[in-house]
């Protein structure tokens, strides 16, 4: 069996995603228990207990979710589809617990100025950052305000230099990989998440660019978070992992004697509410209770992975360079059996 490095994975002849690879623990671990592992990290000037951001989706992150994630040492990015932005602006004391806000490409500069005054991060929430209007908007914001700006999304590192030139502080990597995203089906675009991250990572390293990489999409559990960080991500963005939590927007629904909550893509009909090109789906997910339990489970899983890999901290995990490429049956073998 060949043991792959990041470099050789990046040169692999096919596009790879999380299910295609596995971390290989090749060192005798110094770690007695996962409690010794430290997942603290610094991200755009914020100290986090876990390198996790919530997706700015209408069914994932409102003010309540953002505040709770902040208290848990994560980053909640408030969606741009409801009254949350107005509430943040009008009641600035809420921002003590909220450290990221998404805006549309066509958001007016006055609104962005008010958000910047609150001290929030600004996330330009678009499906395609390889776009001249995104570059112009980023440059406009950075030239006027002292604020950190996240842009997205990209699937390849070819335009990373241009994003850095206009002032982008972080970029969301992933096109078409979200669980309720149909972009790849509708447009034929997209690369496996592992290959996308590696491509952007090496583009950054080769040119020594100052920009953070956010793995956005395709995360199914803590194991995928560990893989994402090991192949180059500074942080991960999750949607479905948090879907169904009590703090997500929307009511709990009882159906067939079970509790559910809605989960839908930002480009779904339920969000757009008009007949135009749709690139997202809507579904129901089981109710999960408080998000604190979800975050604790993610943290435990990530720490366990790091203990196997002999990594006391996230930087050591980022230095991991031993991977396997799995056959279909190798992947299926490790799934729980009924």
Q: Which residue has the higher pLDDT, 260 or 279?
A: 260
- Is 106 part of a structural domain of the chain? yes
Q: Are 200 and 171 in contact (CB under 8 A)?
A: yes
| Residue 58 CA neighbour count, 13 Å, CB half | 20
User: Per-residue pLDDT for 1 more than 60?
Assistant: yes
* Enclosing H/E stretch for 43: strand 41-43
What is the pTM (predicted TM-score) of this model?
0.92
Residue 269 reports pLDDT greater than 50: no
List Cα–Cα distances, 32 to 99, 226, 227, 273, in angstroms.
35, 19, 22, 53
Domain assignment of residue 193, yes or no: yes
Residue 74 annotated among the catalytic residues of the structure: no
177 close to 217: Cβ distance less than 8 angstroms: yes
In a domain, 170, yes or no: yes
Residue 181 lies in a domain: yes
Position 235 scores a pLDDT of 98
- pLDDT value, residue 270: 41
The residue from 74, 123, 181, 311 that is catalytic is 181
Is the pLDDT at 97 greater than 70? The verdict is no
Question: 338 lies in a domain?
Answer: no
Number of domains in the chain: 1
**Per-residue confidence (pLDDT) for residue 84, from 0 to 100:** 72
Alpha helices in the chain (DSSP H): 6-10, 63-71, 84-90, 109-117, 132-144, 160-165, 183-187, 193-207, 222-230, 269-272, 291-308, 314-318, 328-333
| Domain range for 50 | 6-333
- Overall average pLDDT of the 246-271 stretch: 80
- The CATH number that applies at residue 289 is 3.20.20.70
What whole-number percentage of the chain has pLDDT above 90? 73
Q: What is the pLDDT of residues 42-87, one digit of tens each?
A: 999 999 999 999 999 999 999 999 999 999 999 999 998 766 777 7
C-alpha R_g of the chain: 19
Give 317-331 as a DSSP string: HHT---EEEPPHHHH
Average pLDDT over residues 160-183: 87
């Amino acid at each position: 069996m060949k043991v792959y490095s990041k470099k050789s994975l990046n040169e692999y002849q096919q596009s790879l995603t999380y299910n295609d690879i596995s971390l290989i623990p090749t060192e005798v671990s110094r770690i007695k228990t996962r409690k010794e592992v430290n997942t603290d990290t610094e991200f755009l000037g914020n100290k986090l207990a876990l390198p996790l951001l919530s997706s700015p989706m209408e069914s994932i992150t409102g003010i309540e979710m953002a505040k709770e994630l902040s208290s848990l040492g994560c980053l909640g990015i408030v969606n741009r589809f409801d009254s949350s932005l107005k509430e943040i602006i009008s009641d600035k004391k809420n921002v003590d617990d909220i450290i990221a806000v998404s805006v549309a490409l066509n958001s007016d500069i006055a609104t962005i100025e008010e958000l910047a005054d609150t001290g929030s991060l600004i996330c330009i929430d678009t499906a395609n950052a390889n776009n001249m209007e995104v570059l112009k908007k980023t440059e406009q914001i950075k030239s006027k305000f002292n604020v950190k700006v996240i842009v997205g999304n990209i699937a390849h590192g070819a335009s990373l230099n241009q994003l850095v030139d206009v002032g982008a502080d972080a970029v969301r990597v992933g096109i078409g990989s979200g669980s309720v995203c149909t972009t790849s089906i509708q447009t034929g675009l997209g690369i496996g998440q592992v290959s996308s991250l590696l491509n952007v990572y090496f583009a950054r390293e080769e040119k020594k660019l100052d920009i953070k990489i956010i793995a956005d999409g395709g995360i199914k559990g803590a194991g995928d978070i560990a893989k994402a960080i090991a192949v180059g991500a500074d942080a991960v963005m999750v949607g479905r992992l948090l879907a169904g939590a009590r703090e997500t927007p929307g009511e709990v629904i009882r159906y067939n004697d079970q509790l559910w909550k809605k989960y839908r893509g930002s480009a779904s009909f339920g969000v757009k509410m008009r007949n135009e090109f749709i690139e997202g789906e809507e579904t129901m997910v089981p109710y999960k209770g408080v998000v604190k339990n979800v975050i604790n489970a993610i943290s435990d899983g990530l720490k366990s992975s790091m203990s196997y890999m002999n990594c006391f901290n996230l930087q050591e995990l980022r230095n991991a360079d031993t991977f396997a490429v799995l056959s279909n049956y190798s992947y299926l073998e490790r799934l729980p059996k009924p």
